[in-house]
Structure 1
Amino acid sequence: MHLLVTRKQRIAENVVALTLSDPDGRPLPAWTPGAHVDIALEPGLSRQYSLTGGEDSGVWRVAVLRVPAGRGSRYLHDMVAPGSVLRIDGPRNDFPLVPARRYVFIAGGIGITPILPMVSQAERSGAQWQLYYGGRRRASMAFLDELARYGDRVHVYPEDEQGLLPLAAALCGAEDGTQVYCCGPEPLLNAVRQRVDEQPGSTVHFERFRPAGPATGEAFEVRLAQSGRTLKVPPDKSILEVVEEAGVEVLSSCRTGTCGTCETAVLEGIPDHRDDVLSADERASGDAMMICTSRSLTPYLSLDL
């Protein structure tokens, strides 16, 4: 679809928000917290951006951090203005908000974008929740004005004033059933993963700026137990790609190891887990793997496919 940029607003240092609407005034497709859209910027260039508002007003909003080496962010910052028309695909949601009684939200920098509508939904549902939001400087942190209405449930940590996010305090006492949602740079996500693995009892959901780890590595073989076929997985392809090329249909969605759709039972061999879905205990058991990103620590894997 083609959408009109109706507003462009600087909301933080190097961050702009774009409001999008249908040029003919038609309602836009419904979306849920965690959803993103693909914006086509120029021939051969498309980027994903989380929807971060407008769900109640018939418009969409995305926020874009200017990245010095980022072609997509430079284009949206420098070339797009109110009145511009952008080609949009979506929305799709690989980071959905699971209904729960208690949430802990953790955001780093522009990672606040998918978290903001989650906070709004949690508030409307009457759930208990806390948000821990970190950034380099207060001036660089988007949506602080919108978050202020939630009072002391929002904990803001500009690094130059208060240091890094206090993950021990954020996750301390997380009860069974607590849903932890985290989006931000790689070091933050790794630290949250380690903390949750050391303190089981909650379930963590991640959205990364890029996949957790490349699906590339050493070549190995995978046996499809249901058909008896053996396929070679080369260094530059994932198991999912090889299986699909062989004509085997597998449910998949994110292809980045974050949604769990392609989870597959492992019958023999030791997986090299590169996902953000399985817990430490589940990884250690070796009973299942996400074949979109994970590989093998042994020369051979047998999968229930």
Structure 2
Amino acid sequence: MFTEENSQSYASETKLVVTAKKQLADRVVSLNLAHPTGRRLPDWTPGSHIDVVLPSGINRQYSLCGDRWDAHTYRIAVLHERDGRGGSDFIHHELTEGMTLALGGPRNNFRLVPSEKYVFIAGGIGITPLLPMIQQVHMMGADWRLVYLGRERRAMAFLDELAAYGDRVMVMPKDQVGPCTASDLIGPASADTKVYVCGPQRLLAAVERHCADWPPGLLRLEHFAAKSHGAPVRGASFDVELARAGLTVTVQPEVSVLEAIQSAGGRLLTSCREGTCGTCEVTVLDGQPDHRDSILSDEDRAAGNCMFPCVSRSCGDRLVLDV
């Protein structure tokens, strides 16, 4: 029998109240969230995000960008997406202090790993997951620098906070400094330096091209949108054995692994359904996944011991999942 719950019921177990809403920059607001009774919130690490379920039922993921040592407050920042699907529009124009939101998480798909040196590159709202990382490495005394890109200075959030770090931070609004290349931002690979990048897809794509021949593990990215992976490795159907449930389901070419599991009665935690949030991660016990997510590192893909069934598939005719 399946025991996992879906994302909506999972998130509804925790309700947070909006204790503060602040305009940070053009089209960017921050929200402070706390438990209605003041209870301690789940701990989190730099790079973590939460699922926020709005009153309409819309589920969105936002990076935690506040003080991780504050056990009673989460902070997120939300960019108003003019062509979005309604979530950011509600937050900017209708959400008020005192309203209650449902929470899922926190989860971390963008972990800060030990290194002697760090280069952080943020594009626009991509600054949010990097803020707690910068706070952490600065406390540890590591060598680091941040390049913060934006279309114009008035649209770039958290500049006041970042000013405290002095010349470690390079603020580069495009309307003042003009365009730049990934080579300008990063330079050559260095074995003692980890590079963390978050921002719009065009920035991530440019960085990935620049770093294509780097050794694995030096470049770490977080995608806000799904990457394009081309056609699946396998065009035919395949079987997925659900080890704990004692069932086997056949996944047809036009159906996702997640959909096939749900059709068989399984209820996995889900959210984005496009391989960017990490909510539906499952352990692979046998078989070779065709990874089609925008989360896993090259090392994780090579290990092949986990996958995201909302988008990933099988390279062979059988997978065994710990479900």
Structure 1 contact 271–289 (Cα < 8 Å) conserved: no
Instruction: For residue 288 of structure 1, report the CA deviation from its aligned partner.
Output: 9.0
The equivalent of 1:47 in structure 2 is 60
The equivalent of 1:125 in structure 2 is 140
Instruction: For residue 143 of structure 1, report the CA deviation from its aligned partner.
Output: 0.6
- 1:149 maps to a residue whose letter is A
The equivalent of 2:78 in structure 1 is 64
The question of 1:98 aligning with 2:117 is answered no
Instruction: For residue 135 of structure 1, report the CA deviation from its aligned partner.
Output: 0.9
- 2:142 maps to a residue whose letter is A
- 1:119 maps to a residue whose letter is I
Relative to 1, partners in 2 of residues 1:216 and 1:77: Cα closer, same or farther, differing over 3 Å? Answer: farther
The equivalent of 2:198 in structure 1 is 183
Relative to 1, partners in 2 of residues 1:271 and 1:48: Cα closer, same or farther, differing over 3 Å? Answer: closer
Q: Deviations over 1:7-51 (max 9, x none)?
A: 111110011111112222222221111111111212331211111
TM-score for both structures, normalised by structure 1: 0.79
The question of 1:86 aligning with 2:126 is answered no
Instruction: For residue 164 of structure 1, report the CA deviation from its aligned partner.
Output: 3.2
d(CA) in 2 for partners of 1:21, 1:74: 22
Relative to 1, partners in 2 of residues 1:242 and 1:173: Cα closer, same or farther, differing over 3 Å? Answer: same
Relative to 1, partners in 2 of residues 1:10 and 1:197: Cα closer, same or farther, differing over 3 Å? Answer: same
Relative to 1, partners in 2 of residues 1:267 and 1:78: Cα closer, same or farther, differing over 3 Å? Answer: closer
CA RMSD of aligned residues (A): 3.9
Structure 2 contact 46–68 (Cα < 8 Å) conserved: no
d(CA) in 1 for partners of 2:318, 2:297: 17
Structure 2 contact 65–128 (Cα < 8 Å) conserved: yes
d(CA) in 2 for partners of 1:38, 1:287: 26
The equivalent of 2:47 in structure 1 is 34
Q: Secondary structure at the match of 2:218?
A: strand
Q: Deviations over 1:240-288 (max 9, x none)?
A: 655787799x9x99972687x66869978x9586645454x998x9989
The question of 1:167 aligning with 2:186 is answered no
Q: Secondary structure at the match of 1:74?
A: helix
The equivalent of 1:76 in structure 2 is 91
Q: Deviations over 1:105-164 (max 9, x none)?
A: 111111111111111111112222121111111110111111111122212111111123
The question of 1:206 aligning with 2:217 is answered no
Q: Calculate percent identity across the aligned residue pairs.
A: 39
Name the count of aligned residue pairs: 297
Instruction: For residue 177 of structure 1, report the CA deviation from its aligned partner.
Output: 4.6
Relative to 1, partners in 2 of residues 1:223 and 1:85: Cα closer, same or farther, differing over 3 Å? Answer: closer
The equivalent of 1:220 in structure 2 is 236
Structure 1 contact 271–286 (Cα < 8 Å) conserved: no
The question of 1:21 aligning with 2:34 is answered yes
- 2:65 maps to a residue whose letter is T
Q: Deviations over 1:77-109 (max 9, x none)?
A: 111222222222222222221222222211111
Q: Secondary structure at the match of 1:16?
A: strand
d(CA) in 1 for partners of 2:201, 2:284: 26
Structure 1 contact 271–295 (Cα < 8 Å) conserved: yes
Structure 1 contact 216–235 (Cα < 8 Å) conserved: no
TM-score for both structures, normalised by structure 2: 0.75
Q: Secondary structure at the match of 1:205?
A: strand
- 1:60 maps to a residue whose letter is Y
- 1:59 maps to a residue whose letter is T
Structure 1 contact 11–17 (Cα < 8 Å) conserved: yes
- 2:19 maps to a residue whose letter is T
- 2:144 maps to a residue whose letter is W
Q: 2:254 aligns with which of 216, 231, 235?
A: 235
Q: Deviations over 1:194-243 (max 9, x none)?
A: 11113436522222112223798684244679x9x894442241x56557
d(CA) in 2 for partners of 1:100, 1:286: 22
Larger RCO: 1 or 2 (CA < 8 Å, sep 6+): 2
The equivalent of 2:7 in structure 1 is none
- 1:132 maps to a residue whose letter is V
Relative to 1, partners in 2 of residues 1:240 and 1:118: Cα closer, same or farther, differing over 3 Å? Answer: same
- 1:68 maps to a residue whose letter is R
Relative to 1, partners in 2 of residues 1:74 and 1:274: Cα closer, same or farther, differing over 3 Å? Answer: closer
Which runs of 5 or more residues in structure 2 are unaligned?
1-13
Structure 1 contact 221–230 (Cα < 8 Å) conserved: no
Structure 2 contact 249–260 (Cα < 8 Å) conserved: no
